[in-house]
Structure 1
Amino acid sequence: MFTRKQKEDRPVIAICYDFDKTLSPDDMQAQGYIQSVGYDVNQFWKDSNRVAFANDMDQNLSYMYKMVDEARGKFVMNRKALMDYGAQVQLFKGVDTWFERIRQYGLKKGVIVEHYIISSGLKEMIEGTKVAQSGAFERIYASSFFYNDRGEAVWPAQVVNYTNKTQFLFRIEKGVLDCNDPMVNDYIPKEDVRVPFRNMVYIGDSDTDVPCMRLVNAYGGYSIGVYNADTNDKDKVFKMMYEERIKYFAPADYTEGSELDQLVKDIIDRTQVNEKLEQIHVDKKREYLKAAKEHEAKKAAETKPE
């Protein structure tokens, strides 16, 4: 039985995040795991990509295969081990307080704010981070492993790449969050969707986020590119802005009062007003349709032969 979220009596904003280099300054695998199997970080990714290209293989499946293969004989790669690596992952400044702070700001404005991860990284590692442990995320969509009866990772259970990331936006839109729930394909009238795309915010850092950014932009939502404030390298966000992939960019500084903090709060403020107007529109449309139906019924009754 699938759990489906119902439409709320207040506006809902879904803020969707990439993880690596969006919430964390580096790839999660490069913050403990790769070093533990005796690999140089750059060489690990080169070898992983070589396997992918040689076998016409998805690059995310390739790195997952490489992780299992390199761990063999060195340590048991189970869920706990991966979560322990996740606990070592460094987060950008302010991330640890960001999610609850933004949620509370939304509540003050009469808006429900939900946080979602949509990442090609590993779900188990993300689950091991202190923010995930605190219950920050409504749902984590990321690549994950299937474990045998001994608890060892043996096969991909889910793989998330830059193009199939977009399906999760539709799941969030309809409140159909389970990865196997076929209701994601069902038609829902636009006034009945749980989170309209206009109320979605996508925060990412690179080309792998472009399909989600384009989709959110196309339907009136907000896409934000972030960059590492320490390096101040804006090349990627400038490229995404030039190509109209993003509407805004800001340093990946999640502290209170930062540029990103104020931008997201402004989006919440705007949503509060927009949704009030949208509800008036819906109410007036329903009033009109009811009147039109009554008029047609009356007209039909008057022309009905005796």
Structure 2
Amino acid sequence: MTTNIGVVFDFDDTLAPDSTTHLLQEYDIDPDEFWNKQFRERVQNGFDPTVAYLTLLLDHIGEGKPLGELTPAELEQCAESLENELYDGVPGIFNDLDEIVAEYDDVSIEYYVVSEGIESLISGSTIKEYCTEIYASRLATDDNSTFTRVKRPISFTDKTRYLFEINKGITAAEATENPYKVNEQKEDRPVPFENIIYIGDGITDIPCFSLVKDRGGRVFGVTQQDEKSAKQEAILDIGSPQRAGNLNPPDYGPNGRLGSLLRLTIEGLCTDSTIDQLEAL
């Protein structure tokens, strides 16, 4: 029997600096004004935080507005300029973990991104080449391909839904066809939670940390100790704790603490799988 390992990353402030802030800067929009004033006011008026920032972006889209008639293609171009800001060791960490797993029989590994960020910004980066699925917020377009409305917001609690889809082996295509499929009882879980590793920055990832850890998986928190993004500051000021065990700087290289821990964790899962197989003989 094959042991399936699922490595799940948040994206913003986990694999790269906040992608929405990067978009704002590319279009000369002040991130502090956006996050610390406009976003905060919208949340304090009762908006879900993810809906707040997505609708705020939409308010900046249109003829004569800062983002112009923004399209998915333009977001993907913006993602290309984000490449130089990927954290140390990204995307090399994916190749290194693949090499570790390749040394063992009957062990497989897959990578996922689960983020409240905008899908087109994330999928336009090289990260997409390594990921089985990218789950992120979506904006819908009109007939001219201009973003006009919110299609799929992924808030912090929504993220756990996608962990269950991964756990149950439900593909994104299957979930699109039947969004309630994740609620079906399923005895066979292709990616057991004890084989799931979740990496996030600890602000919007607390429900995922709790779910994975409580079910025997492993979690790693990422933190910028010296500086926080305008988005992080706004969320923390609103009242969200940055709570996660095992906080590490975002260095995924072989000499970085986080990179070393991930490599050791994957090696350990592979070794455990081999021992279990030998004991079963």
> What's 1:255 paired with?
253
Greater relative contact order (Cα < 8 A, sep 6+): 2
Distance 1:107 1:260 in 2: 21
Map 1:46-85; keep pairs closer than 5 Å: 46-54=37-45, 56-73=46-63, 74=65, 75-85=68-78
- Count residues in correspondence: 259
The alpha carbon displacement at 1:231 in A equals 5.5
Contact map agreement 2:139 2:150 (CA 8 A) in 1: yes
Supply the AA of the counterpart residue of 1:78. T
Normalising by the residue count of structure 1, what TM-score does the alignment of the two structures yield? 0.77
Q: Which residue number corresponds to residue 152 of structure 1?
A: 146
Q: Does 85-94 or 163-172 show the bigger shift?
A: 85-94
Tell me the equivalent position of 2:233: none
**Deviation for aligned residue 1:212:** 0.2
Which secondary structure state, in structure 1, belongs to the residue aligned with residue 117 of structure 2? strand
SS at match of 2:32: helix
Cα shift at 1:154: 1.2
SS of corresponding position for 1:207: coil
1:171-214 per-position Cα deviation (integer Å, ceiling 9, x unaligned): 0001102243333222222xx31000000000011221110000
Amino acid at match of 2:264: D
Q: Is the 8 A contact 1:106 1:112 kept in 2?
A: yes
Unmatched 5+ stretches in structure 1: 1-8, 285-306
The secondary structure found in structure 1 opposite 2:98 is helix
- Aligned residue in 2 for 1:28: 19
1:281-300 alignment to 2 at 5 Å? none
SS of the aligned residue for 1:85 comes to helix
Residue identity in the other structure for 1:14: G
Counterparts in 2 of 1:99 and 1:169: CA distance versus 1, 3 Å: same
Q: What is aligned with 2:127?
A: 131
Structure with greater Cα Rg: 1
Which structure 2 residue ranges, 5 or more long, are not aligned? 229-235
The answer to whether the 8 Å contact 2:39/2:56 transfers is yes
For 1:205-220, list aligned pairs within 5 A: 205-220=201-216
Partner SS for 1:57: coil
- For normalisation by structure 2, the TM-score amounts to 0.84
Residue 166, structure 1, aligned to residue 156, structure 2? no
Determine if the alignment matches structure 1 residue 15 to structure 2 residue 4.
no
Distance in structure 1 (CA, Å) of the matches to 2:73 and 2:95: 26
> Which stretch shows the higher mean deviation, 258-267 or 268-277?
268-277
Deviation, 1:98, is: 1.7
Q: Give the RMSD, CA atoms, in angstroms.
A: 2.4
